[in-house]
Amino acid sequence: MALPSDRFAVDGQSLFILAFAPERVSADRPIFCSIFQLLSGRKNFFTRSVRTDKHVLVYEALSDHVELYDAVTDPPESQDLAQGSPETVEELRELLRASATGNLWEVRRFQ
């Protein structure tokens, strides 16, 4: 059975474009990532992140843990700046909240 082409609208870009042709992506466009694991016998996690031209915010939704990194001066993401930058953390968390559409946040119920 074939699904209609307009059944599941997707708005986004492949991350391959960013990796292999970065000049085709606006530098100020945020990049979002969501990863979750819900497996019996393993620790559950639901991590969302957003990368901007200046910062990387990593948010673990099940524990409500947040980390913030400077994307310009700390590419390996080795120094967490979250404690000293509450305004930036809140701005990026709001961006994550705005990007969560559909039932994405429902996964938090399955801890």
Judge whether 89 and 57 are in contact, CB under 8 Å. Answer: yes
Largest CA distance in the chain: 54
- Cβ–Cβ < 8 Å for 47, 64: no
The span from the CA of 57 to the CA of 94, in Å, is 11
The percentage of residues in the chain with a pLDDT greater than 70, rounded to a whole number, is 68
pLDDT of residue 111: 45
Q: What is the enclosing helix (H) or strand (E) of 85?
A: none
Ordered by where they begin, the domains of the chain are 27-100 (3.30.1120.10)
Residue 66 gets the label, from left (phi > 0), alpha (psi -120 to 50) or beta, of beta
The answer to whether residue 2 scores a pLDDT higher than 60 is no
Q: What pTM was computed for the model?
A: 0.70
